[in-house]
Structure 1
Amino acid sequence: MSLEPELEAAAVAEIRAAPPFTPVPLSRRFPRHTAMPRAGELQLWRFRCEWLPVPVPQGDTWLSKSERERARLHPNAALRKRFVSARVVVRWIVGNLFECEPREVRLFDDGGDKLRAHHPRDGRGIAIDIVYGGIWIVVGIATSALGLSVVMPTPGIAPGETPQRLRRRARHDSLRSALRDAPVEFDHTVLAFDGPACFTLDLAQYGEWHMLDLPMNGQLRAAVAVAQPLSEVSLIGWPKKTMQ
């Protein structure tokens, strides 16, 4: 897929200091002091595709009728298992954040992997995005719209894909995801600078987006775009030694 726009539109990028990262180990016990995100806070959860917080039969009972149907229609067993794992873990996370049973969580689904949920008592809303990359599933949660991306070298042509190009692809795809693939066209050189960064991208009528590179293993590159300035990022499932 080409990253070059057919037409160029004005886009202004401003590099900013990255918000503090707080790495939190992941276990089957919900992390202490992890609560509903507030404005400016971003939660990122990373886990392997086969990881579940509860036994498989219990997790299956949490899924909605529509989620079970979508799982049944997946074209192969690996994709089906990955989808089910993601939805079970999301329900576990949101159930703990809302202090309710995971099967009671109502997820408003766009038919893809972008979800919304509202607290059953006070109505506070959260946006949820799910992305897959290699062995990992990454879930982002914030109070505003967001888009996640994890990219890896394409099999067979990996030598031609430099880390810089992969980073640029991750930034591009996270923004496209956040904008739900709206036909936004801009000069992509604003995404091409080197080094881990947090920056703001002004896309005129499409608003101001705050983008952040994420630490990942090996050749994976990841980024997130959020529709609000970030003051704190929780990396749940990353080792404590993770640095920004």
Structure 2
Amino acid sequence: MSLDPDPEIAALPSARSRDDSRDSNAAADALDARGRMSRLASDMESGLESTAHTTPPARTTAHTAIVTDEPAFTPYPLSRHFPRHAALPRARELQLWRFRREWLPVPVQEGDTWLSRSERERARLHPNAALRKRFISARVVVRWIVGHLLGCEPRDVDLHDNGGDRLRVRDPRDGHGIAIDIAYGGIWIVIGIAATPLGLGVVVPAPGFALDEPSDESRRRARHDSLRSALRDAPVVIDQLLLSGEAASFALDLAEHGEWHMLDLPMDGQVRAAVALAQPVTNVWMIGWPKRTKQAASPAAYPER
């Protein structure tokens, strides 16, 4: 399998046309939706019970949300030289990477040699070249990042894959687990790495009618997607009112599904992104964001229930 850019992808401008985004985003959304519906529970250290054999009906339980202090954001520009400051995230730390889907840290031929047999097979099964190359780019970058963090070759990184883009790996030095999630939105690929289970959500307005979608609705959808990913699509009905507040950082008590910490992520234009984590976060390292990036939203009370 080759990573050589095809003319269709190489010719894409940084600001995608409406026709281009209609085809690729619709296909990407359809693929992600099918993948999320087919993936069940992971055996990560989150303590969530597996639903691989039986999926109980979704239940509505009493959920609450509490506004929390925003963590410290530290943005760094993206470079093909691995950041010297970057290290494995510790407790209460989150590491984020954002890059355009055509970006690679190494020549395409070298990145191609890093992929596992199962990754090559998954890439082969993607429905079109654009989605296939997007998947490959994400996996090459993940292996590049984790290889540097663990001090090993990217091809030697032992990624545990549950069939989607929610990955985990163990640090061979101490056995601690590391959670990785990948989200796609338009031209962007976002990777999250933490010492605790997490989920990412990125929402890009679809062509046509969704261009007029209120920004708070896109934000709610990004939060919902991140929480669903973090919960491994557990059968729980989430009160959408709790996801509609103005606070950029808050904690959700989901009863038997535990407490989850939600954080809005700064993105460009009408793109909205969020991350849900099983533990509070005090420091966020953001590689691929401009140096002056700040969290724009300010805390506000949730609407009366």
Q: Same fold (TM over 0.5)?
A: yes
SS of 1:229's partner is coil
1:124 alignment counterpart: 176
Deviation at 1:186, TM superposition (A): 3.4
Q: Distance in 1 between matches of 2:211 and 2:147?
A: 43
Q: Distance in 1 between matches of 2:234 and 2:209?
A: 29
Q: Is 2:260–2:276's contact at 8 Å kept on the other side of the alignment?
A: yes
Deviation at 1:8, TM superposition (A): 4.1
Deviation at 1:76, TM superposition (A): 0.7
Q: Distance in 1 between matches of 2:131 and 2:114?
A: 19
What amino acid is the match of 1:23? P
What amino acid is the match of 1:9? T
1:19 alignment counterpart: 71
1:198 alignment counterpart: 249
Q: Distance in 2 between matches of 1:158 and 1:25?
A: 31
Residue 264 of structure 2 corresponds to residue 227 of structure 1: no
Residue 94 of structure 2 corresponds to residue 42 of structure 1: yes
1:3 alignment counterpart: none
Deviation at 1:138, TM superposition (A): 0.2
Deviation at 1:33, TM superposition (A): 1.2
Q: Judging by fraction of residues, say which structure has more strand.
A: 1
2:261 alignment counterpart: 210
Q: Which sections of structure 2, spanning at least 5 residues, go unmatched?
A: 1-57, 296-305
Q: Which sections of structure 1, spanning at least 5 residues, go unmatched?
A: 1-5
Q: Distance in 2 between matches of 1:164 and 1:186?
A: 17
Q: Distance in 1 between matches of 2:118 and 2:212?
A: 41
SS of 2:208's partner is coil
1:187-232 per-residue CA deviation (whole Å, 9 max, x = no partner) reads 211111125x100000010000000000001110000000001011
Q: Is 2:97–2:288's contact at 8 Å kept on the other side of the alignment?
A: yes
2:45 alignment counterpart: none
1:56 alignment counterpart: 108
1:29 alignment counterpart: 81
Runs of 4+ in 1 over 2 A off after TM superposition: 6-9
TM-score for both structures, normalised by structure 1 = 0.95
Would you say how many aligned residue pairs link Structure 1 and Structure 2? 238
Deviation at 1:181, TM superposition (A): 1.0
Q: Is 1:213–1:224's contact at 8 Å kept on the other side of the alignment?
A: yes
What amino acid is the match of 2:175? G
2:128 alignment counterpart: 76
Q: Distance in 2 between matches of 1:124 and 1:203?
A: 26
By relative contact order (CA 8 Å, sep 6+), the higher-ranking structure is 1
SS of 1:87's partner is helix
Q: Distance in 2 between matches of 1:65 and 1:114?
A: 18
Residue 215 of structure 2 corresponds to residue 171 of structure 1: no
Q: CA 1:159 to 1:91, structure 2 compared with 1: closer, same or farther past 3 Å?
A: closer
Residue 240 of structure 2 corresponds to residue 188 of structure 1: yes
TM-score for both structures, normalised by structure 2 = 0.76
Deviation at 1:121, TM superposition (A): 2.6
Q: Is 1:7–1:186's contact at 8 Å kept on the other side of the alignment?
A: no
What amino acid is the match of 1:233? V
Residue 243 of structure 2 corresponds to residue 243 of structure 1: no
Residue 53 of structure 2 corresponds to residue 9 of structure 1: no
